[in-house]
Amino acid sequence: MDHLANEAEIEGLRPGRVIILSSSFQGTPRAMQQNYQDAMAIVRKYGKPDLFITFTCNPTWREIKEQLFPGQTPSDRPDLITRVFKLKVNELIEDIFKKRILGRTIVNVFVIEFQKRGLPHCHMLIILTNEYKPKDENHIDRIVCSEIPDHVQFPQLYECVRRHMIHGPCGTLNPHSPCMEDGKCSKEFPKEFQNVTMANKDGYPRYRRRDNGITMTISKYEVDNRWIVPYNPYLLMKYNAHINVEICATVKSIKYLFKYIYKGHDCANIKYVSAPEAAWRLFEFPLHDKSHAIIRLVVHLPNQQPVYFAEGNEREALERAAMKDMTLTAWFKLNSKNPDARQYLYDDIPQHFVFERNGT
C-alpha cells in the first residue's frame, strides 16, 4: 500500500478508489453529525433536556439465565443478551413515556452503545413538560438519590445499590482502578458530603450525600455515600441493573450531552465489533431513536440545488432536476399560492404542510 501511495504521489494521482460513506450508513461521522443536528432541532422546539439516563444490560437477569443451556454462560449467548436488553429498553421507554413514572414526558432521544466486553447500554435524554421539570432540591430528591438506603427498611434496594451503583472504589482505596487518570478519578469520585442538594453551574446538581454513618463493604473496601452513582430508586429496583439517572440543570449541558450520546464509536486503526453488537445489527434493532420525526430541509442558492446522477446521464439528470422542487423552492411556491402559509418560518412549515416529491 505504501508503494502504491508513493507511485500515485509521483504521478499526481490518487491511489485506489474513493469510497464515501453517506449519512445513511450508521456509525459514520456524517450519520453522527446529522443525528446530532436532528436532536438539536428538538431542543430548539422544546427546550433543554431535563434528565440524562444511562441503562446498562445486566447479564445475570433471570430472563437471560433461565434460557441458557447447561454449561453455557451469558457471554455464550449474544443473541439472548441483545433480545432481552431490547425488550428492557422498550419497557423503560414505556415506563417513562406512557406510564409517566418521572412525570409527563414530551421528548425522549436514545442511542445504544456497546462496552468493550460487549454488554449493550442505552443513553437516553428526556424533556419533561413545564409542570414536571425539576425546579427545586425537594423535587430533585424525589427523582434522584445518591445515598445508601437503610438495609433494614429497604433490603432489596440496598442490595441493588450494592451490586450496581457503587463507583470503583478508586483513588487512594484502589489507585489501579480503570477510571484513574494522572492519579485522579476521571469521574471525580469520591464526591463531597452534601447535606442538601444544590444546583451546580456545570450542568449537574450536587446531590444530597449526607454523612450519616451508613456504609457498605465492596471487595474488602468500605464505602459511604460519596461513592454512590445517582439513581432513581423505583427504576433501580424494577430493572435490577446499573441505571444512572442525572438531572440536566443548565443550558450549558445541552451540547455536551447531545454530542456525547452521538459521539460515535471509539476508533484507532480498526473498529472492534463485539458479538452482542453484531447480533444487535443482525436483528436490525435500532441503534438510535427519538420520539419525534425530523424533516431535514434543504438550503441552497438559486439554481444550485444538489443533483444526483450516474456518469453519462448528466443531461437527463438536469432535466429531471429542473422539473422537480426541493423543499426550499416548494416553500417559495407555497407562499406565492397560499397567503396563510406566509405566517410560518421555513423551519415551521413541516408542522403545518406536507412536502411531496412533486410539490407541497
Is the per-residue pLDDT at 137 higher than 70? Answer: yes
Banded model confidence at residue 75, pLDDT cuts 50, 70, 90: very high
* Structure confidence at residue 359 as a pLDDT band (50, 70, 90): very low
Q: Model confidence at 249, in pLDDT bands (50, 70, 90)?
A: low
First to last CA, the chain: 51
Mean pLDDT for the chain overall: 86
Residue 49 grid cell: 433536556
Distances (CA, A) of 256 to 167, 248, 251: 22, 11, 10
Mean pLDDT confidence for 62-70: 95
In terms of Cα–Cα distance, which of 60, 62, 85 is closest to 74? 60
Q: According to the model, what pLDDT value does residue 307 have?
A: 78
